[in-house]
Amino acid sequence: MNAVRSQQAGGGVPESQNVHAATQNSPAPAWEFWVLRLALVGASIAACYALHPFGLGALPAAGVGFFVAMIVLLAELRLRRAEISGLMGGAVGLVLGLLASLLITLVIARTSGPEPTKSFFEFISLLSLGFLGFVLGMHRGREFGAIALPLSAGDAAPPPAASLQMKLLDTSVLIDGRIADICETHFLDGSLGLPRFVLHELQMVADSSDGLKRQRGRRGLEVLQRLQKMPGLDLRLLDDEISGVAAVDQKLVELAQRTGSKIVTNDFNLNKVARVQNISVLNINELANALKPAVLPGEPMRVLILREGKEPTQGVAYLDDGTMVVVDGARRLINRTVDILVTSVHQTPAGKMIFGRIEEQRSDSGSVRAAAATAGASSSRSESSNGTNGHASRQPRAESSRSMDSSTGVTQSDSDFA
């Protein structure tokens, strides 16, 4: 039972098997490599000592063997830091260089020159072309990683490189502040780049003598500090300087062209200039307009009229997201909440505008209710006045009847008794 519990807690694999697997997967210890290196040095010295290359004696030949072993060890230490793609490119370049030198050797062998000259050219071609092929293959070997290999059914496609481009922040987007909320929702992937000249411009705005500009600059610095404190957000300070350009916007465009990055901005003019030069732009205002709720003509809406419009009868209201609503015939209804019908929606580069008019059905019903209330009030007033006049008219009739009875000398009670 205890063994079963231990297997279940460990994912169904005993601890001894885990340790054994970890031992098998772990790299070989460093002392094994040193043993192999010492064996190489000993084998090289012994081979040269026994073969006496170049007619050398025993000790000089052993020295040559030691020198060859040191060259091999230095090459091994250098190649350990090389990338796999570089090694593959170097091997391919070396093979191609040797093949080229072999062709040159075949051509030289058919010439009628002296043998020392032929051997010299053969040796030089072999050494130079082999070296050039290996070095060029090492440098160009990284291009092997850009070759698209066919994926099997179970392999997942790697993410495209375009989605990992750096996004360069503009001063306007830092002052706006909504970039921090977007980053908190993880809708921006890759890294964000802040050029140092943009930071310098933001500092100059924060140090301005104008109170409004100074407040906006300090807000941008606060947003920047907020971005720096976000976990998992890669914000880099770029020291790239664009010489010969004074305007910050032009520097930002040049840097985006040089690095292949995107620009995050709210500036309308910078947006247009960058897109003319085929630079990808992420405009926060366009994103906000795209996220606004869709309003169709004919839909009802309830708004608060805040101010007068440009036309004599227009009133202006605003939605919660800042969209302007122009209402025809609402000039007299300022500071009142009214029901309107949307007549048209216009999308402008600065944002969305909604045009509407006061809903006729509800206004007609309201006027009917007001007319009914007015009619009821007038009828009640007429009834009350009629009641007062009837009481007054009845009173003189009673007095006249009493006077007639008194003149005849017969009272009402006496006539009833008779």
Name which residue leads in pLDDT, 7 or 139. Answer: 139
As a whole number of angstroms, the distance between CA 30 and CA 70 comes to 19
- Residue 417's pLDDT is 34
> What residues does each domain of the chain span?
33-142, 162-290, 296-362
- Give tens-digit pLDDT for 290-339: 777 778 888 888 999 999 888 888 999 988 777 889 999 888 889 999 99
Tokens (6 digits) for 283: 């405009």
- pLDDT tier for residue 349 given thresholds of 50, 70 and 90: low
C-alpha span between 13 and 374 (Å, rounded): 89
Mean pLDDT value across residues 35-45: 83
Does position 409 have pLDDT exceeding 50, yes or no?
no
How much is the average pLDDT of 25-33? 57
User: What is the spatial order of strands in the sheet that 351-358 belongs to?
Assistant: 300-304, 337-348, 351-358, 324-328, 314-318, 307-308
Instruction: Dump pLDDT digits (tens) for 232-244.
Output: 888 988 887 787 7
- For the stretch 175-200, pLDDT in tens is 998 899 888 888 887 889 999 999 99
Rounded to an integer, what distance in angstroms lies between the CA atom of residue 291 and that of residue 175? 21
Q: Which of 8-22, 91-105, 353-367 bottoms out in mean pLDDT, i.e. has the lowest? A: 8-22
For the beta carbon of residue 272, count every other beta carbon within 10 angstroms: 11
> For residues 220 and 45, what is the distance between their CA atoms, to the nearest angstrom?
69
Query: Left, alpha or beta for 409 (phi > 0: left; psi -120 to 50: alpha)?
Result: left
* CATH architecture group of domain 296-362: Beta Barrel (2.40)
Q: Kindly give the pairing relationship between strand 191-195 and strand 167-169.
A: parallel
Q: Please give the CATH topology (third level) of the domain spanning 162-290.
A: Rossmann fold (3.40.50)
What's the confidence (pLDDT) of residue 146?
A: 43
Is the pTM here over 0.85, yes or no? no
In DSSP terms, 264 is beta-bridged to 169, 282
